Amino acid sequence: MGGNNVVVLGCGLMGSSIALDLLESNSVDKLTVVDNSFERLKVLEERAARKPSSDLIPSHANLKDKLETREFDITKNQEEFKKFLSGFDLGVGALPHGIAENAVQAAVDSKIDFVDLIYSWRYEDGSALDAKAKKNGVTMIPACGLAPGLTNILAKYSADQMEEVDQVKIYVGGIPEVPKPPLNYKIVFAIDSVLEEYMRDALIIRDGKRINAPALSEVEELTFSEFPDQRFEAFITDGLSTLPETLTKVRYMEEKTIRWKGHAEQIALMIDLGLFSERPINLHRGGPRVAPRALLSTLLEKKLAMHQGDKDMTLLRVDVKGRKRRGDRSTRIKEYEMIDHFDTDTQTTSMARTTAYPCSIVAQLILEGKITDTGLIPPELAIRDDRFDELLARLSRKGLSIREKEFLAD
């Protein structure tokens, strides 16, 4: 399919990785990247100029020739933003939580297909947008990164192989390869998104009913065979996204975030001290009023930033427990597991790789005419059957190996 003109909104850690991957795709003829930071855009241009062409595109191709960057604040003028978007065939959203919804709404109004990293919705909240997307002939795939995104796809595909599903458990997290104080954590995506994850109640399923559970709760110890001497922890976070809508009749479902042991207790202490509060306080009599969370965000962004020599890794496990045939006596667990590491050759974080590549691949499948349904389509419904195998194959070619195994439940 020729003539595909694509725009990526956001040039941060994830947006730049998505852009560099799309530049290598034969399904993209022209790529524009938008950000409100001139410096971030220049760094992307430099990375594109240095990046060698892959075997998937002609060896003489210059990736930078396909790239255009534009400094643009999409929050300033929504009508101007919509007019700008209408000149593209497809958009990809890699924006902070606060403005992601504006981009999704603008893309539907501008009648362009769109894949977004973080915009999460429930069917009852998205029905109007879904109807408008269908009316405008738009394919809109929200929350299509690592988690939610890849985790949902793996969970749904596993569950579809069974006639009865009792339990879906998702564990996922990006952590430093070597834990260092404070917090044994390094920032691998926007700090405000990290803090929000620790504060927002999580939708989970218990005894077939939807309930809200506090973030950081139900801490459990976790091990991985690649690290026999290491102990990790996992705690409840709000990452199921659309799975409660697309996976019905499951009695137990949850997502948990993985960290090095002790992290949840440290974060809970800061919350108890009021450091996550958004209510401004006086630092001293007559002095300026400051929101503790804003101050904390600024401090952590500097203290926990990735520096030269720092390496991260991503741990993922999706367990689906049930029976292949209704009435079976034996209950089985189908498990997907992925362990990914920092790419030393390209100096790309594992979190950027594991988040950007699923999003980029789904966008390419739309451009290639392999996903044609219109409306708001959860990634777990967009990637099914042959498309599931193709997604895993393309991820594998990028070095993301997802191991599958099946065993009898205890």
Sequential pLDDT tens for the chain (410 residues):
346 999 999 999 999 999 999 999 999 999 999 999 999 999 999 999 887 655 445 444 567 789 999 999 998 989 999 999 999 999 999 998 778 889 999 999 999 999 999 886 655 567 889 999 999 999 999 999 999 999 999 999 999 999 999 999 999 999 999 999 999 999 987 788 899 899 999 999 999 999 999 999 999 999 998 999 999 999 999 999 999 999 999 999 999 999 999 999 999 999 999 999 999 998 887 778 999 999 999 999 999 999 889 999 999 999 999 999 887 889 999 999 999 999 999 899 999 999 999 999 999 999 999 999 999 999 999 999 999 999 999 999 999 999 999 999 98
How far is the C-alpha of 410 from the C-alpha of 404, rounded, in Å? 18
Expressed in angstroms, the distance from the first to the final Cα of the chain is 50
How far is the C-alpha of 253 from the C-alpha of 5, rounded, in Å? 39
pLDDT at 61: 55
The DSSP H or E segment spanning 252 is strand 252-260
Chain-centre distance of CA 362, in angstroms? 13
pLDDT at 3: 65
Residues sharing a CB contact under 8 Å with residue 307, sequence separation 6 or more, in sequence order = none
pLDDT at 106: 96
How far is the C-alpha of 295 from the C-alpha of 289, rounded, in Å? 11
299-300-306 Cα angle (round to 5): 125
Nearest partner of 56 among 347, 361, 344, judged by Cα:
361
How far is the C-alpha of 290 from the C-alpha of 279, rounded, in Å? 8
pLDDT at 1: 39
With residues binned 3-state (H G I as helix, E B as strand, rest as coil), the percentages for the chain, rounded to 5, are 35, 25, 40
Q: All domains of the chain, ordered by start, with CATH?
A: 5-143 (3.40.50.720), 150-354+401-408 (3.30.360.10)
| Residue 182 near residue 7, CB atoms below 8 Å | no
Residues sharing a CB contact under 8 Å with residue 50, sequence separation 6 or more, in sequence order = none
The DSSP H or E segment spanning 392 is helix 386-397
Instruction: Specify burial of residue 319 (Cβ count, 10 A radius: 0-12, 13-18, 19+).
Output: middle
Question: What does the block give as tokens for 380?
Answer: 């777990």
pLDDT at 207: 96
Look-up of token digits 């003539």: 3
Count CB atoms within 10 A of the CB of residue 58.
Answer: 9
> Residue 57 pairs with which residues in a beta bridge?
none
| Residue 403 near residue 337, CB atoms below 8 Å | yes
CA distances from 341 to 174, 295, 352 (A): 10, 31, 11
Question: What does the block give as tokens for 382?
Answer: 């967009």
pLDDT at 318: 98
Nearest partner of 93 among 116, 127, 124, judged by Cα:
116
How far is the C-alpha of 190 from the C-alpha of 98, rounded, in Å? 12
